[in-house]
Structure 1
Amino acid sequence: MQFKRRENLKPSEKLLVLVGSKNPVKISCTEDAFTQAFNRSFLVEGIHAFSGVPDQPIGDEQTLLGAKNRAQNSRDVFPEANFWVGIEGGVDEDAHGMFAFAWIYILGKNGKKGQAKTGCFYLPKKVADLVKDGMELGKADDLIFEKENSKQSGGSVGILTKGVINRSAYYEQAIILALIPFLNENIY
């Protein structure tokens, strides 16, 4: 990949946002969220970035760490970008069962950081049991719902809401919330 350095950008040029994943859903929702939040265009690219957590993170701490690591590792690979975004989906349990969520972590060229968490939703027992046995959520969904690579399309949330909320829309709001410090630089 060859990108222009920020100091060479003209006002009309797009700023570069790197997403620590090659998942097309994560790249697309990041582009949509940044465009909406800043009311301008961005060049958004995905790169493989190591999360440093298990394929299926469990709990807030592990999931947020995965998102942070993806953003930081993206910055290490290509420090010339303007923003680096980590998106990590996780699961946890409470008295009502196993639920899914994601953390978003954003680093800015100016050193500013932002983070936000998606809403949570509970998983069916059959899916939760497979995840408890060590299967990654996307693979468990594919097996139970007879899908193929669902995590690169609607994901669990899309399957369970019958497409009313797809994975892209689910992440998009949290990305915008993680951008609050960048949208309000004078108070953050």
Structure 2
Amino acid sequence: MKIAIGTTNPAKVQAIQKVFEEQYKEVQFQCLKTESHVSEQPMTDQETIEGALNRAKNVLKVTDCDVGIGLEGGVSESLYGMFVCNWGALVDRQGNEIIGGGARIALPNEISRELKAGKELGPLMDEYTQRTGIRKKEGAVGIFTNGLVTRETMFLHVVQLLLGQWQYRTK
């Protein structure tokens, strides 16, 4: 099986590889930076889902792989504050489109204010933590859960949801 991954972000790639390698003996991966065709900082569930689906479709179009996967992180406003959200999409050559979402946590008010002012979460978290590359490592979820849940772990769950649904539909 050949899996096209619509990102080169290590946290996302590792999540996809772990899930598929647990399920399949013969699996190959091709990672390509693909466009989400949504804003750099998705601000709603709908926009975040659309970004994941676009990445999955786009990476499948430009490869000879069997399956394309797109993962997208974003934020979503609610009556209880702004939450980190994460969505994934799996598309295959038979036209199946699978969508799954994962864990959510509320962001601190100072982060939410900056996002509403137009900043992007990745660079904002680098500034907030005085470190670099948070989005490629533990992510905001890792920072705000004191490392108990990392970005990779969060996306691992999403990929499990995608793969399980796909296996069920295609059995």
Report the alpha carbon displacement of residue 41 of structure 1 after superposing the two structures with TM: 4.5
Residue of 15, 18, 21 corresponding to 1:35: 21
Residue 16 of structure 1: aligned partner: 2
- Partner amino acid for 2:121? L
Aligned Cα root-mean-square deviation (Å): 1.4
Report the alpha carbon displacement of residue 40 of structure 1 after superposing the two structures with TM: 2.8
Residue of 25, 30, 42 corresponding to 1:45: 30
Which residues of 2 match residues 61-80 of structure 1 at below 5 A?
61-78=46-63, 80=64
Q: Structure 2, unaligned stretches of length 5 or more?
A: none
Which residues of 2 match residues 24-173 of structure 1 at below 5 A?
24-36=10-22, 38-78=23-63, 80-173=64-157
Q: Which has the higher contact order (CA 8 A, sep 6+)?
A: 2
Using the size of structure 2 for normalisation, the TM-score is: 0.94
* Percent identity (aligned): 27
Q: Whose radius of gyration is greater, 1 or 2? A: 1
Q: Deviations over 1:123-177 (max 9, x none)?
A: 1111111111111111111111212010000001111111111111110111111
SS of structure 1 residue aligned to 2:169: coil
Report the alpha carbon displacement of residue 186 of structure 1 after superposing the two structures with TM: 5.7
- Partner amino acid for 2:25? R
Q: Distance between the aligned counterparts of 2:116 and 2:4, measured in 1? A: 32
Residue 3 of structure 1: aligned partner: none
- Partner amino acid for 1:53? V
1:177 aligns with 2:165: no
Q: Distance between the aligned counterparts of 1:108 and 1:62, measured in 2? A: 21
Q: Distance between the aligned counterparts of 1:101 and 1:76, measured in 2? A: 26
Contact 1:114 1:180 in 2 (8 A): no
Q: Distance between the aligned counterparts of 1:32 and 1:154, measured in 2? A: 16
**Cα 1:185–1:94 shift into 2, 3 Å:** closer
Contact 1:52 1:66 in 2 (8 A): yes
Using the size of structure 1 for normalisation, the TM-score is: 0.86
**Cα 1:147–1:41 shift into 2, 3 Å:** farther
Q: Distance between the aligned counterparts of 1:138 and 1:67, measured in 2? A: 17
Q: Distance between the aligned counterparts of 1:125 and 1:147, measured in 2? A: 20
Q: Distance between the aligned counterparts of 1:114 and 1:74, measured in 2? A: 15
